[in-house]
Amino acid sequence: MKIKSAKLYSFAVRGGTEWLILKISSNSNFDGFSELTISNYSLKNNLQNSLSSLLKKIQNEDLQNDNQINKLLGNANENYDLADATSRSGIRSACTDIFAKENSKSMNKYLKLKYLLPDAPLNLVNLYANINRSLLPNDNGPSDRSPESFSKMAKRALNDGFSYIKCAPFDGYPDKYYKDNKFIEEGLSRVEEITKLLTSDKKLLVDCHSKFNQQNAISVEKKLYDFGVKWFEEPMNPKTSSKELKEIKKRIKGDLVGGEEFYGVREFEELLKSKTLDILMPDIKYCGGIEEAVKIGINLNKISKGSFSIHCPSGPISLLGSAHVTAALNSKLPLEHAVYEIEDRHNHLYPKEKIMKGKFFFPKGYGLGAEPNFNINHKIILEINL
């Protein structure tokens, strides 16, 4: 197939948050979709520039598969660039959506056949509830981030059938709290309130968003472990603090988790082989796209079983693609899902996103099986005719 055109859409979500959706149209009369929501919103202009530049590299090519596209796009920026990684990943994922549709296969079936994965039929994927987005500022301003509010959101998720809850308890404090480490005590009080709700079959995952140094990371993990928390996510940034993380990993009892902004199989293999992290979290928006995520999962599981869990605190298109990858790999760890960010989230997908009792149910169509609901208010922020 050849690419005819591409459009980048913005769907306003909550408090300044937006979901960025790429649509690639081909001369085979199929459209492919991917999500390009970027964690650093200040890079949106860089993202658009990168997307335009990369699409021009493949505009006249007869595209056959993801490996070919990856080669045509050229080497990723040696100095890591999130906008560049997001653009590459989005193009590759949208094209894979088209390839699956051309082959009249659902995405996870297409991936299983292509990568010779066991064909265990799955029509659902287990999710864990990330409550972080629901506690960020909304259209009316800051939300309540008291321990009681964390507990309330966690209780809602448990009542909705989720067995695993993730929170980011050390975020959102004034600068002075970080200077005198008061944020640690306050964050632990948020964790404690949630753990009061948990039974032996319910688990809490904690994301630290790189708020610690080596010393207080080790101290905090011990307290979290005593609370029953065995998932310790990014106390420090793996891109800048790998040496410290290796030392932290040696001295803690729980699993050290992270890697959401790395790109390509090689980098994830290195993180695991070097014993920097226990569980790696590729994000299909940044890691190279849907097929790269599959290759990452295959390679990581050869090194260590249970070391792969997709990062996905994003919109319905990202969750849909991530669910297909999780199903194709028959991954044992549940998939991340950002709950309660907006109440009408399911309406942003057509057919509607279906999540019940902590499980994601696949739509029946080919490729991703669903597309953005363009009846929801949105705007086109980039349009390219090739």
Pairing state between β 349-350 and 164-167: unpaired
3-state secondary structure of 99: helix
Q: Please check whether residues 347 and 221 belong to one and the same domain.
A: yes
Q: Please check whether residues 9 and 128 belong to one and the same domain.
A: no
Whether the per-residue pLDDT at 180 is higher than 80: the answer is yes
What integer pLDDT is reported at residue 78 of this predicted model? 63
- The label of the residue with tokens 């149910």 reads 361
CATH number (domain holding residue 42):
3.30.390.10
Q: Please check whether residues 69 and 124 belong to one and the same domain.
A: no
Is 109 part of a structural domain of the chain? no
What integer pLDDT is reported at residue 122 of this predicted model? 78
Both structure tokens of 24: 């690639």
Both structure tokens of 149: 């509010």
3-state secondary structure of 164: strand
Whether the per-residue pLDDT at 41 is higher than 70: the answer is yes
Please give the share of the chain, as a percent, with pLDDT higher than 90.
Answer: 95
What integer pLDDT is reported at residue 321 of this predicted model? 98
pLDDT digits (tens, 9 = 90+) for 283-302: 999 999 999 999 999 999 99
Q: Establish how many alpha carbons lie within 13 A of residue 26's alpha carbon, considering only the half-sphere containing its beta carbon.
A: 23
Q: Please check whether residues 87 and 129 belong to one and the same domain.
A: no
What integer pLDDT is reported at residue 80 of this predicted model? 76
Whether the per-residue pLDDT at 77 is higher than 80: the answer is no
Whether the per-residue pLDDT at 56 is higher than 80: the answer is yes
pLDDT digits (tens, 9 = 90+) for 89-107: 999 999 999 999 999 999 9
Please give the share of the chain, as a percent, with pLDDT higher than 70.
Answer: 99
Whether the per-residue pLDDT at 120 is higher than 80: the answer is no
For the chain, the domain total comes to 2
Q: Please check whether residues 222 and 284 belong to one and the same domain.
A: yes
What integer pLDDT is reported at residue 76 of this predicted model? 79
Q: Please check whether residues 379 and 328 belong to one and the same domain.
A: no
Cα dihedral 348, 354, 357, 362, rounded to 10, equals: -130
Regarding predicted confidence, which is higher, 249 or 43? 249
Average pLDDT, the chain: 96
What integer pLDDT is reported at residue 386 of this predicted model? 82
The boundaries of the domain holding residue 42 are 3-104+373-385
